[in-house]
Structure formats: C-alpha cells, structure tokens
C-alpha cells in the first residue's frame, strides 16, 4: 500500500488518470494528432462527421420518434424483447425501503456490467421463461439477470436478489458456463477471464467491509451507501459515481500498468500522449467503469437522488461506437490490410481507435443535437450514446457485414470490451 497521507509525486499523478477528465483530455490529444496526420494507424476526415450525424439521427428517429430517449445503461438490455424484467422483480421483492432496492439494483448492475465484455459471434442464450434467444450484449444481460434472480449470487436462500462476496469468491468458470449455457457448440469468449474478474470482485468486497458492508453483509451493492453518503442536497454528480468505482473497485482489474502503487486499470501506452509528469505516454479509458457509472444513475434516481453533470462522463470506447466512425469514413485505416486480422487491446492501433472514438463522440454530439433541435441539457451524451451512436454502429455493421461484426477485430480477455 502507498502512504495515503503523504503520496509521492508519482502517486498523485497516477490518481489524476483515474478520472473521466483524463480520459477526455488525452483522447482529444490523439484526435488532434490524427487531424495533423501524426497517428500511426488512422487518418481522420471531419468532413464526414455531418453524414455520420445524419446516420445517427436516422436511427434515433426510427427507434424513438418521440425523442424520449433513456440513458445508455445496462437497464436497456434488461428489457430485451420488450420484457421489463427488473420491473417484475421490483413488484415481488421483499424490500421495505428504497435503500434496500438500490443495493439490490447496484448488485445486479455491477455483476452484469462486469460480465458484459464482447461475447463473440457464436454465443447465444435461450431464455427459459420466454423461449427467446439472445446474443451479444442482450444475451449477456439476460443470462446474468437469470442467474441473479435465481439466487445464484446470493448466500441467503430467503433473499435471492442479492450478490454476496463469499459467493463471488467461490464462483468457478464452470458455474458461469452453466448459467450462460456455454458448450463446445456455444462458446463464450473470455469465460475464464470473466469468472476471475468476479472472483476478484468478491475478494475486494469481502476484505473491505468498512466500504461494502456498512449496512449489510459485504456485497457490491454496499457501494450505494458510500455514494449516497457523499450526496449534497440529495444530488450526486455522475463523476463521483465513477470516482467511487475507480477508488474502491480498482483492484479487481487484471494487473496491467501501475504507477506510484496505483493500479491504473483500463489504461494503455501511446507514444504521442503528452503530460508534464510520470503519466506521459499513458492514456486511460475506464470503459467498463464508465459503462457501470451510467448504469448506476437510474438506481440512484429510483432511491430519490438527483444525478447531475452527466456529461462529465465520456462516451464509451468500444467496438460499436468505434465501428460507427470507421463505417462512415470519419476515420480510416492507413493500411487497409489491418482490417484483415485481430489486434490485441494494448496495440497502438486499438489504443488509437479507442481514443478517436471517445473524442469523436464529443464532436458528434452537437450536430446530432442541432438536427433534433435539442440542447446539451435536454439531450446529454448518455442519450446520444443510447439513441444513438451505439445503435447506429450496430445497424451499419449489420448492413455492411452480414454477421454484424465490427470493422476491426480485437482480441479480448473478457475484461475490456
């Protein structure tokens, strides 16, 4: 452990990377480099951004003609097929106060988001109660939801709607395979990595009862009490959700880059990133942590808190948003042959792709709003994403490639995308 009372310059610099502001600032650095023709793998053509915005608006008007768009969050996937699964849980759960509901919702969202890395093109999940079959993010959501409501993560038979640290620590890849219907004919990418991530989550929660067990046995949902305690006048800043996640769940991520005793999680190297300290050459993304931050907004609102400054979070650097900009020609590979093989998450190519995605999501928000006659206040980035860029990236992928695969293939260990 580092000395918290007198942190070193390296530790202080590292902590600044654990913010959405750092994600945004350094991503825009690489966009500027792309506009100057200095990136190794991509060119950028901002004249294509208007046509890209047109595609996004087409998607929004078709899916949400009233423009009443919810936030980009895991809760959208829990309504796959038009079934509001969480509403059904809330109708039958034995909670007596809003905080109990919120802890349960945090439990579900945290575990489900951590299981939401790319599933791969072959995997499918058949939902027992409806007989419907789902793939990719919807499939992962419904499968994790089914495990949750069946009590698979609970150590209390009388209270299935919870996630307990001791159960997470003991969870095996075989347990996950059973819950997710994985077989030789139905393979799920990164199964071992997903199980290991939940094991680490369990250990972090169990060994920090002062954080995760303030009101109940240690559970991920105990983070609700930490965030609620920091509210001012019943309001919570969206960035404070991310701060809590990066502070208290940071140790769950696989050991990658650490600095000053701080594990930097979803942070990578790029030679063009400038900084006046030891973080020079480092760029954070915190994709799953930000996806989780967006997904914890609604449980906080259900519990009576207003969540503010939602645009303090960034767009998500994943393959649907990134694919949108490739498929509309806003960015292009300098070497087209790079589309023909898979790339590791730490490769310069993937780091550039992700950084450009974050920065261009900021750039596209305004032309999308202008076409819809909306403002940043009424149409925050979380709605642009949901309406939106993510869905348009998926639509264009399906139109251009029959299997709906992204334009670039990334080798994932189940803990990044």
Instruction: Say if 317 falls within a structural domain.
Output: yes
DSSP structural state of residue 271 = T
pLDDT of residue 338 exceeding 80:
yes
Give 91-116 pLDDT, tens digit per residue. 888 899 999 999 999 999 999 999 98
Here the tokens at position 45 are 């053509």
Given a cut of 90, whether residue 187 has pLDDT beyond it is yes
pTM of the model: 0.92
User: What is the rounded (10 degree) CA torsion for 364, 414, 286, 332?
Assistant: -30
Written as six digits, the tokens of 335 are: 């070497």
**Within-domain flag for 2:** no
**CA 380 to CA 369: how far, in whole Å?**
9
Q: Is residue 3 part of a domain?
A: no
Residue 416 falls inside a structural domain: no
Judged by average pLDDT, the poorest of 49-58, 137-146, 363-372, 401-410 is: 401-410
Torsion angle of C-alpha atoms 78, 79, 81, 83, degrees rounded to 10: 110
Termini Cα distance of the chain = 29
Indicate whether 367 pLDDT > 50.
Answer: yes
Measured N-to-C along each axis, helices 49-63 and 348-372 cross at an angle, to the nearest 10 degrees, of 60
- Whether 1 has a pLDDT exceeding 60, the answer reads no
Query: Domain span at residue 288?
Result: 9-411
CB 264 within 8 A of CB 282: yes
4 part of a folded domain: no
pLDDT at 413 over 70: no
Give, as one character, the DSSP assignment of residue 314. -
| Residue 1, in any domain of the structure | no
Give the residue from 334, 376, 331, 380 showing the smallest Cα distance to 354.
331
Structurally, the chain folds into a number of domains equal to 1
Going by C-beta distance under 8 Å and a sequence separation of 6 or more, which residues neighbour residue 251?
200, 204, 263
């Amino acid at each position: 452990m580092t000395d918290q009372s007198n942190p070193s310059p390296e530790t202080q610099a590292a902590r600044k990377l654990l913010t959405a502001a750092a994600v945004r600032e350094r991503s825009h650095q690489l966009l500027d480099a792309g506009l100057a023709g200095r990136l190794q793998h991509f060119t950028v053509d901002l004249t294509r951004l208007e046509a890209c915005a047109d595609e996004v608006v087409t998607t929004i008007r078709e899916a949400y003609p009233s423009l009443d768009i919810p936030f980009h969050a895991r809760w959208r996937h829990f309504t796959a097929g038009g079934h509001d699964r969480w509403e059904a849980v809330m109708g039958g759960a034995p909670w007596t106060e809003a905080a109990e509901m919120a802890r349960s919702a945090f439990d579900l969202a945290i575990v489900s988001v951590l299981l939401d890395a790319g599933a791969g093109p072959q995997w499918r999940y058949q939902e027992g109660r409806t007989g419907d079959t789902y793939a990719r993010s919807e499939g992962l959501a419904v499968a994790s939801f089914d495990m949750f409501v069946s009590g698979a993560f609970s150590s209390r038979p009388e209270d299935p709607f919870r996630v307990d640290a001791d159960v997470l620590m003991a969870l095996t890849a075989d347990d996950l395979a059973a819950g997710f219907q994985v077989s030789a004919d139905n393979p799920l990418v990164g199964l071992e990595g997903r199980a290991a991530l939940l094991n680490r989550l369990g250990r972090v929660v169990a060994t920090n009862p002062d954080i995760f067990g303030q009101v109940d046995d240690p559970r991920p949902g105990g983070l609700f009490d930490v965030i609620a305690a920091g509210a001012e006048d019943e309001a919570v800043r969206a960035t404070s959700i991310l701060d809590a996640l990066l502070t208290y769940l940071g140790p769950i991520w696989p050991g990658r880059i650490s600095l000053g005793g701080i594990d930097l999680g979803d942070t990578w190297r790029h030679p063009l990133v400038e900084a006046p300290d030891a973080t020079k050459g480092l760029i954070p993304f915190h994709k799953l942590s930000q996806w989780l931050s967006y997904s914890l907004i609604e449980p906080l609102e259900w519990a009576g808190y207003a969540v503010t400054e939602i645009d303090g979070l960034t767009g998500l650097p994943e393959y649907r948003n990134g694919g949108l900009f490739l498929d509309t020609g806003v960015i292009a590979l300098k070497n087209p042959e790079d589309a023909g093989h898979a790339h590791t998450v730490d490769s310069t190519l993937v780091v550039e792709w992700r950084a450009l995605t974050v920065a261009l999501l900021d750039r596209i928000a305004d032309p999308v709003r202008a076409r819809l006659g909306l403002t940043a206040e009424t149409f925050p980035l979380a709605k642009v994403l949901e309406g939106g860029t993510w869905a348009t990236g998926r639509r264009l992928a399906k139109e251009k490639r029959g299997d709906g695969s992204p334009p670039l293939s990334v080798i994932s260990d189940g803990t990044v995308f």
